[in-house]
Structure 1
Amino acid sequence: MQFPQNGNFYGKISILPKFVNTAMENYFMNYFIWGLFTVKLVMCECGYPPEQHLEEAMKPSVFQGKEWDPSKHIQEMPTDAFGDISFTGLGPKVGKYVRVSADTPPRTIYQLMTQHWGLDAPNLLISVTGGAKNFNMMPRLKNIFRRGLVKVAQTTGAWIITGGSHAGVMKQVGEAVRDFSMSSSCKEGEIITIGIATWGTVYNRGSLIYSNDTLYVLDEESQGNLSCLDSNHSHFILVDDGTHGRYGVEIPLRTRLEKFISEQTKEKGGWHITDQEGRIQGARSSEGPIHLQGSDVGCCLMSLMASLPWSFVFPGAVVSSQVLGSGCHFSGGGPDPALVLTLHMPLAAASRNRDHFGQESWDHQLKLAVAWNRVDIARSEIFTDDHEWKVSDLHPVMTAALLANKPEFVKLFLEQGVRLKEFVTWDTLIYLYENLAPSSLFHGKLQKPSLTALLSKPAFLFGAQLERHSLFSPPLAPQGFTGGESPVLANLALLSQSQDCTAAALACSKILKELAKEEDDTDSMEEMLLLAEDYEHRAIGVFTECYRKDEERSQKLLIRVSEAWGKTTCLQLALEAKNMNFVSHGGIQAFLTKVWWGKLCVDNGLWRVIMCMAFFPLIYTSFITFRLQPMSCLTRTRAFFTAPVVIFHLNILSYFSFLWLFAYVLMIDFQATPSWREYVIYFWLFSLVCEETRQVLDGLGTKVGGDFWNKLDVCAILIFIAGLTCRWIPSTLYPGRIILSLAFIIFCLRLMHIFTVSKTLGPKIIIVKRMMKDVFFFLFLLAVWVVSFGVAKQAILIHNEERVDWIFRGVVYHSYLTIFGQIPSYIDGVNFNLDQCSANGTDPYKPKCPESNKDKRPVFPEWLTVILLCLYLLFTNILLLNLLIAMFNYTFQQVQEHTDQIWKFQRHDLIEEYHGRPAAPPPFILFNHLQLFVKRVLLRKPAKRHKQLSKQLFPSPGREQSALLSWEMYLKESYLQHQQCQEKQNMEQKIRDIAHGYQPPSSQLPLGKALGVSAR
């Protein structure tokens, strides 16, 4: 153990054990003063027998016969008892302990606890004094006391200070902490319980000396008048004044230490925990910490505070809030009416404190309420008509509530008028990031010296749709990125309490899903995914209410550009989060269908569209209908050929023509000098390259890099260019044709993309893609058997084959074909034929012959090769192939159960692609590209893409947007009320409410008798 650099801890000693090295005796001069004389016992005034003193103390001196004076007869020495202490028994617990002098400065002890023991500064001190005698408490009161004490200590980050002995109320406190530790998880944290005891009254204290890792035996039977240390305390401070068996020595040091801690400044949560300038601390120096004196009565009082309504314990108008800032000294003794007076005195002091300090005290009470996590008191006693709060005064406590994960307070402050746009400044955001908990998920991800790198980190949560300049617009910043743990994320639903709640709920779902990918803990990851699903259901519920009221306005809400969420839309947020349930909603699908048909009526059958494509004059008749009437001939033509459904079918026709012409050139018309058909293919491919380039420049670059079909397009184009390069070199003409043939295969695979429009075939493409992943992992298992059997077979049959290609054939290729029934003829002697192989391996077209004798008969062990073949076929054909079939069946069942959702979700990508695509199909699309080049590059006109999938409402007056958001807020409240009514109608909820609210009158009698208080 190391001590502070400014000095050592000292223990006052008037005795010195015999095992101390005699070389140190001159340093410790102690004196023996004759005290109590008995027949067989001689004791010193300090309480120790003569043999427990140094030899110098026993010599005759001028002090004999004089009154014993601790200041003269006791000297200090560096402490010899400190380190870790372990207790015997079931589940021993390791704690820290130190032996200190009675006049040790409190600052030195505080530095030991915070710097060397690693304790966080407390928000609150709970000092439990007195009650050293054992007593019997009713089981119900005992449970209430333990639960209340632990709840207060856990929610406020408190230190519990007791006498540290294994008796009385201190034992009850230790058992309460023990029960909490056994039933809680590591994430809930440890409750700090500090025992400050007198060194001279500790039984078996000799085992604590000169032992850095002590095993302490708790022996209550042999302790006599001394006390054993409680095994459930986490830290011990043993106060020594050089005496033995005298209780109460630690009281002055404990009082000074508690006062010193209460006067400290703690920077956490946006305020200083101190008694100055209206800032909050756990225990104020002028009023002291919360003391629970006595045993039974003190426990009853704590029970009342923890379990009963606040107004029952402290009746009065200002009791609920003022008790937080006052020291509550609970003195025991029985049902004395003075108890009630003692209880009310700190409340009166707190009331006077409010009147005297004004605004400072109001702020103080609010910060204390946040520290105690008592939002009910803040609502009923602090935010009243007696005081008018300024919004700016709530910003510090808002920051504190965010850092301390107090979502109910965040909600309360939002209700009290805190505007996130004013609250979230650059300084506030940086402060929130800098004060992340070290164990949080984002703490390691934000270790960046660059502020730009720090503030751009959240962009990965929203993909490319989140624009950097709006990263910190409300309501993104308040709580979404101030913690990485699941309890913080569980409260992101607060964001959905504000305006734009549908987008907020979808954004919460996106955040949770992205953080789940970063989370290593499986339980936390599953919790995040469940919460993400819950927020998706909230968004669905609100949108359903809107869609039932007004379809048109709900669709505007769906595509409204949200400034608060990176200038994206609700639909785009749902797609980014892969919220299939939301996207498959009937209202959204109706909107997508409307976009798919463009200005055509959705009632038109597909066969009518195909007929109009074949005989386009039909569009000028009533054969096909449009949504807008009447329309001129030019408007009809433009509306028809710009509809996504028409563009899609024209591109299919064009793509089939391209593949047919490509196949014709490869098989029939591939000459040394390219024909005109081949030049048409080049021109056609150039139009496809231009279209891919347009998508990149149009802001879809991330899709080109992330979408499977775009990757396939890029791969096919690159392979085609490689083949074309080889084709123009005369010496590589044939390799060029081979590479072009491979490109043709990929172009054909790209054709599967058109099946996504089909409700039947679309999900089957998803099944094929997932089965390809299954095959990829299955190949690792198959490769183990193929390679092991192939190498063994090759080594047994053939001697020193040096041709690499034939080694590969024998090891991998032939072993692989064996799975499908092509068994090699040379594996046994029945079909053995040397004419089918090369004896020395000189024939490049024949394998090397197996081992044989002079009679040209095989000499390899046929029985072994046959057994290996049977085992190989058993495991590969029966076991592994059936495993693959089972994997395919599982994948099919998974997709088949959600066929409708999958098709509706992937349908959007197809609609979005052809909604923003130029009307002309390749290769005529080059004319559209030329037109776009002139508009955007030469004329500098902005792009007007996705005009139906995102809509910027009139920002200047803001009337339409404000009206739409107000309408959404109104329907959100209706949805929440409906949900609350359903929950109340739930039978299980009714039973829980009844069980929670019912309390028999008899249960109040013991508390009332103990306190002298009755509920009225």
Structure 2
Amino acid sequence: GVSATRCRNIWCTCNNHSNQVCKMISDPEVTNNARQLCSILLTSSEIADRDKGKNEEADRDKGKNEDLSKDLYQDLLAWALFANRKELAGVFWSKCENPLLTAIMASSVLKNMATKVHTGKDRKLHEDLTQHSRLFEKRALELQNILYDEDEKGCMSLVNSVDDIWGMSVGPIECAYENGMVDVIGHPCVQRLLSKIWYNDSAVQFPQWFKSLCCYGRGHRRFENMKKAWSSPAMTFAVHYFVVLVLLVIYSAFILMDIKSENALRGIGAYEFMLHFWILLDLLEEVLLRHLRSFLLFKMPKVRLVAYLKDFWKLLAWLSYIIIIAAFMVRIVSADEYKRTEIRLYSLGLFIMYMRFLKSMLVLTYFGPKIIMIGKMLKELIQFSWILFIFIMCAGVLYHSNMYPHHYDMWPSHGTGAHYWRLWKIMSLPYWQIYGELFLDDLKGENNSNGSCTFIQSEWESDPSIERCVEYDWAIMIIAAIYMLLSNLLLVNLVIALFSYRFEEVQNNSDRLWKFWRYSIISDYSKRFPIPLNVPLHIFDVIRTLYRPKRAYDHKKCIDGTCLPFDLLIDIQSKHAARCLFEEKNEKTP
């Protein structure tokens, strides 16, 4: 709990008295536990670096009273959130130094608490916490509206500025994206900021940006706009995916050619060399260079592996690296029996590379929602596939037991591969029946006379390539009739209904969802360089950053874009949090 000393005068607005209350606290264990719990609930956020230098510690000691007063309301807000005390949480939030970021983080904490409670099946508490979370999200949106109407540039800078809340260093748009706050990311302020970053402040729309590339315009600013356009994240994105498109053509040509297994290292052609060279540079860009650059700039993020792998596109990237590298290792073995395995791995890698190319369409207004729709339907299909798997296995076992009674050799071991296992025979027939392939001739045993099977047990046991003939029984057709009724009429139509629901859901929210995912693309390509120029450009960028004059608030940005001095950003929002609370009270009063 919270000590009586701390809660004695929680309604006091006097800074001197707040400092006095803070000094009376002798045991910081409660506040540390509260901050630790907040950091656990916000697992994706970057933890503030606690290994500060001695100079920074001296600066903090110098302003200790001010920091204690600032942290007081943050800690009391955390207590009110954990206790689900809505009115007290609103009062403490209005006293915090950075109410916009605090509202977003409070909403995220409550949302994650509600998710954990929902897992515990406490429905009433889940609804209360969800409602409380939406209240703070509403406050954040109202604060964004007020600040954007009053000072557009200041509001754009504010949502892009990093601050320390509950011991975590995070920015408003970063926290909102990590916790799925679609409306906060879709706010005109954030979208305008993202457009400025995407085109490097050279244009507001694609046609203007394209004209800026060609030095279109009048006056001395046209050369400046052209320089900005060519160095913008949009240009990085365009160059990167143009190279990827060329690589896909090269990769496809490489797969269609006769891949020679012997003398693999000396037999590597131009297509294969360019493929592996690009994969190596892309792997360096994804893992080493970006993290090494962050380390040299003292910004090394401590991101958990689970949170990293939640990004579907990063997971696809890692799968492509692993599969293509595995294919190359198989190629080095230079054995004829592994030649087909090598081609299979390269083919699977090509398929994943084509899927990765779909990410380029996320930035387009028309194709972006369609890609999001495909992702949601794929997630729905994967979840539903467990039900399909149960039906397929049930029907397959019933088919096999009646078509091939007393079949003892389910796992042939006479020097054969896994493709001769009877498991595939059990699953294949009911699986293809879902798509309308009835196999009635096979079920009735009418193909027994074509010479491709045998009734002699010693023959099909000694040679797995020889198929056993079907022993027809009337029960087989009854099983097929019931299974086809359930699978084709019930399960397939249920999947179609689920897809229709997801389609309507995404279609109705296509603009909001596209704006949300647009942030991830712009944030990513504002920090990277196109391949194959990434290695020298990263080295040059690190050297330039280390030696250029650095302003005090340069490190306070989420992504490269608009940023003003942090003290100014705090001043422009200090008076509006109380106004939001006052308007809430007026709405509740009849």
Please indicate the TM-score interval, normalised by the length of the shorter structure.
Answer: 0.7 to 0.9
SS at structure 2 position matched to 1:567 = strand
Find out whether 1:812 has 2:427 as its counterpart: yes
Structure 1 residues 730-757: Cα deviation after superposition (integer angstroms, max 9, x where no partner):
1145433321221111111111111111
Asked if the contact 1:719–1:743 (Cα under 8 Å) also holds between the matched residues in 2, the reply is yes
**Deviation at residue 946 of structure 1 after TM alignment:** 9.0
Indicate how the Cα distance of structure 1 residues 727 and 930 shifts in structure 2: closer, same or farther if over 3 A, else same: farther
**Deviation at residue 811 of structure 1 after TM alignment:** 1.6
Q: How does 1:505-524 map to 2 (within 5 A)?
A: 505-519=103-117, 520=120, 521-524=122-125
**Deviation at residue 485 of structure 1 after TM alignment:** 5.0
Aligned Cα root-mean-square deviation (Å): 3.4
Partners of 1:870 and 1:975 lie apart in 2 by 64
Q: 2:220 aligns with which of 615, 620, 630?
A: 630
SS at structure 2 position matched to 1:419 = helix
Structure 1 residues 606-635: Cα deviation after superposition (integer angstroms, max 9, x where no partner):
6x62x776xxxx32x42xx8xxx73485x5
Partners of 1:934 and 1:962 lie apart in 2 by 29
Aligned twin of 1:712: 316
Indicate how the Cα distance of structure 1 residues 492 and 575 shifts in structure 2: closer, same or farther if over 3 A, else same: farther
Q: 2:382 aligns with which of 751, 755, 776?
A: 776
Aligned twin of 1:492: 89
Partners of 1:806 and 1:689 lie apart in 2 by 37
Q: How does 1:376-455 map to 2 (within 5 A)?
A: 396=5, 399-400=6-7, 410=10, 412-414=11-13, 418-419=17-18, 423=22, 427-431=26-30
Aligned twin of 1:574: 176
Indicate how the Cα distance of structure 1 residues 822 and 682 shifts in structure 2: closer, same or farther if over 3 A, else same: same
Greater helix fraction, Structure 1 or Structure 2:
2
Q: 2:370 aligns with which of 764, 768, 787?
A: 764
Aligned twin of 2:531: 922
**Deviation at residue 713 of structure 1 after TM alignment:** 0.9
Aligned twin of 1:908: 519
**Deviation at residue 689 of structure 1 after TM alignment:** 1.3
Q: 1:686 aligns with which of 280, 291, 305?
A: 280
Asked if the contact 2:377–2:499 (Cα under 8 Å) also holds between the matched residues in 1, the reply is yes
**Deviation at residue 478 of structure 1 after TM alignment:** 1.9
Asked if the contact 1:561–1:951 (Cα under 8 Å) also holds between the matched residues in 2, the reply is no
Partners of 2:512 and 2:20 lie apart in 1 by 37
Find out whether 1:882 has 2:502 as its counterpart: no
Indicate how the Cα distance of structure 1 residues 930 and 976 shifts in structure 2: closer, same or farther if over 3 A, else same: closer
Find out whether 1:591 has 2:190 as its counterpart: no
Aligned twin of 1:861: 473
TM-score (norm 1): 0.48
Find out whether 1:970 has 2:575 as its counterpart: yes
**Deviation at residue 680 of structure 1 after TM alignment:** 2.1
Q: 1:465 aligns with which of 46, 50, 72?
A: 46
Partners of 1:729 and 1:880 lie apart in 2 by 45
TM-score (norm 2): 0.81
Find out whether 1:270 has 2:22 as its counterpart: no
Task: Pick which of 456-465 and 654-663 moved more.
Answer: 456-465
Partners of 2:15 and 2:36 lie apart in 1 by 31
Partners of 1:705 and 1:729 lie apart in 2 by 31
Structure 2: any 5+ residue segments left out of the alignment? 53-66, 295-299, 412-419
Asked if the contact 1:509–1:535 (Cα under 8 Å) also holds between the matched residues in 2, the reply is yes
Aligned twin of 1:389: none
**Deviation at residue 716 of structure 1 after TM alignment:** 0.8
Partners of 2:14 and 2:468 lie apart in 1 by 86
Asked if the contact 2:80–2:88 (Cα under 8 Å) also holds between the matched residues in 1, the reply is no
Aligned twin of 1:992: none
**Deviation at residue 761 of structure 1 after TM alignment:** 2.1
Aligned twin of 1:827: 443
Indicate how the Cα distance of structure 1 residues 612 and 546 shifts in structure 2: closer, same or farther if over 3 A, else same: closer
Asked if the contact 2:48–2:164 (Cα under 8 Å) also holds between the matched residues in 1, the reply is no
Asked if the contact 2:196–2:204 (Cα under 8 Å) also holds between the matched residues in 1, the reply is yes
SS at structure 2 position matched to 1:413 = coil
Indicate how the Cα distance of structure 1 residues 658 and 612 shifts in structure 2: closer, same or farther if over 3 A, else same: farther
SS at structure 2 position matched to 1:474 = helix
SS at structure 1 position matched to 2:76 = helix
Letter in 2 for 1:823: L
Q: How does 1:9-88 map to 2 (within 5 A)?
A: none
Asked if the contact 2:107–2:137 (Cα under 8 Å) also holds between the matched residues in 1, the reply is yes
Asked if the contact 1:508–1:532 (Cα under 8 Å) also holds between the matched residues in 2, the reply is yes
**Deviation at residue 876 of structure 1 after TM alignment:** 0.6
Structure 1 residues 444-494: Cα deviation after superposition (integer angstroms, max 9, x where no partner):
xx7xxxxxxx96443223333231539996257523444775534664223
Q: 1:695 aligns with which of 274, 278, 290?
A: 290
Structure 1: any 5+ residue segments left out of the alignment? 1-267, 272-395, 402-408, 434-445, 447-453, 852-859, 955-959, 990-1016
SS at structure 1 position matched to 2:91 = helix
Aligned twin of 1:725: 329
Letter in 2 for 1:923: P
Greater strand fraction, Structure 1 or Structure 2:
1
Partners of 1:877 and 1:500 lie apart in 2 by 57
Asked if the contact 1:480–1:489 (Cα under 8 Å) also holds between the matched residues in 2, the reply is no
Asked if the contact 2:400–2:426 (Cα under 8 Å) also holds between the matched residues in 1, the reply is yes
Partners of 1:726 and 1:636 lie apart in 2 by 50
Instruction: For CA contacts below 8 A with separation 6 or more, give which structure has more relative contact order.
Output: 2
Paired residues in the alignment total 535
Structure 1 residues 388-412: Cα deviation after superposition (integer angstroms, max 9, x where no partner):
xxxxxxxx1xx245xxxxxxx62x1
Aligned twin of 2:131: 530
